[in-house]
Amino acid sequence: MLTLQAIPSRDSKTMSNKSTFLIINQQADENYCLVVRNDGKAGLALYNPGDPYQRWIKEENGSVDSQDQPAFALRNVGTNELIKGGDFLEILPDEKESLFWTESKESDKGFRKIRTASNVARHMTPTNFAMTEGHFVSIWGGAHPTTQWKIVEDSNLITISCKKRDGYNLSIRDGAVVLAPADPNDKNQIWMIDFSYAKRAKDQDRRRAFAIVNKGTGQAISHGLGIGYLVRLAKINKMYFDASLLWTDRQLEAGFREIRMQSNTLATFNALYADEKDSEQALLALQSRNEGVDQRWKFKRVDA
């Protein structure tokens, strides 16, 4: 008989010692993660490394489901709250209403169903199969590819590529941000998204701001002189808050996003000279929004 024990509440200090995970949806081609929406419900969001509302902690208590799979609760890092049940999954502070989950034994390339521990026929699934950002996640009893998920550790490391120039990543060369041929050994092609630097700043669309920091040099991308000019690089100084280092993003199509200034969302990343054969001439500038292929960017996870 299944017996589920209560999970005790956790303070932020305890949480900092726990491993954190992303919960990635299979049909979304690993571009979308389980997230806490602004309304407190669970939903899908375009992957953003470092976003605490996309990070989860698995809290096991020794219970198992009817197939002897270990049960766990899911605590969100951003809210420090657990998922609870209902027509739509919610994240609320009442520990007694939290749901316990298990993963199915069978998998498809590492993706498994995430089921309710009390009834393994019911599992987590988006309410809209179009896989666009913002849709609710609910509990479903039918079979569909969108019920497959993968729980993975997040290194907070990414590459940033542009749809205009396949096979190239943002990098730093001679003090400039350029598009360079993809090279897994080039640390200057690895970036980190830092939400903590933004101090909870948001843009006019209420999207959370972040800094974009290069792993190789430790420099962050700066607005520079704004629209019509190349971006610049600056060292992050924790003692001095620099609003010119803040960016936000917006989904354009499956897997692609625009990256824009937090203070002026009409100014977006633009791959300048991306049609040229010389990779050194593909520079990163800010241009007015046109949603062209030279303004469509993709984050790809990199293992630590």
* Burial of 246 from C-beta contacts in 10 A (0-12 / 13-18 / 19+): buried
Whole-model pTM above 0.85? no
3-state secondary structure 187-248: HHHCEEEECHHHCCCECCCCCECEEEEECCCCEEEECCCCCCCECEEEECCCCCCCHHHCEE
| Stretch 59-80: mean pLDDT | 92
- pLDDT for res 19: 83
Q: Average pLDDT, stretch 176-193?
A: 94
Q: Give how far the C-alpha of residue 304 lies from the chain's centroid of Cα atoms, to the nearest Å.
A: 16
Kind of pairing between the strands at 70-76 and 90-92 = unpaired
Q: Does 15 have pLDDT greater than 60?
A: no
The span from the CA of 44 to the CA of 30, in Å, is 11
More confident residue, 223 or 253: 223
Q: What is the pLDDT of residue 99?
A: 81
